[in-house]
Amino acid sequence: MMRPLPETGRRGLCLVVAAPSGAGKSSITRALLAEDPGLRLSVSVTTRAPRAGEQEGVHYYFRTQEEFDAMAAEGQLLEYARVFGRSYGTPRGPVQKALSEGSDVLFDVDWQGYHQLRSALPGDVVGIFVLPPSLDDLASRLEGRGDAPDIIAQRMAAARDEIAHVGEFPYVVVNTHLPEAIDQVRTILHAARTETKRQGWLRHWLGGLGLSE
């Protein structure tokens, strides 16, 4: 069930761009964030220690494991997972505030995080899966990064597991040529923004005509 729309303007949305490592997700999302002031990157909560230059509330919200567990138990996290012994999650409050203000939030999560977000915010989540042209092409991209053969093998195995869930996303973009892939994601985002259900102003406009949605 959709949450109430703002009295005016448009309700924001959650944009999830998922992809196996090496498919070009980071390049696509960086381009979108650089050109679109209405799109902001979700800031995650993590239990890992801050790295040099990282700022609280800008790069991450840094919490102890006990604090993180309490947030999860109290329903303060939209999604969360444990990665390499550290916990990561998305705080509910900042996202819901952004949506109510008509801002769109970009998420860097995998297919599992996507499902958790859809369950937490039904009707607000748009999912796009980015594919490489082929697995051979993906392997070549990983080799071009200079990764060790064993790391490449691990990433390729993880890529196959991730790609197995592509059918669970409503949109798929094949990143053969980066500018075209960026344009396709941009088009999907524009279409999602103009969905009738997101237009808080529409009921007022129709009301002026003596009509209702």
> Which residues are documented as binding site for ATP?
19-26
DSSP 55-69: -BTTTEEE--HHHHH
3-state SS, one letter per residue, for 80-103: EEEECCEEEEEEHHHHHHHHHCCC
Question: Residues annotated as binding site?
Answer: 19-26
The bridge status of strand 14-18 relative to strand 125-131 is parallel
Element (H, E) at 206: helix 202-207
Burial grade of 89 (CB within 10 A; 0-12, 13-18, 19 or more): buried
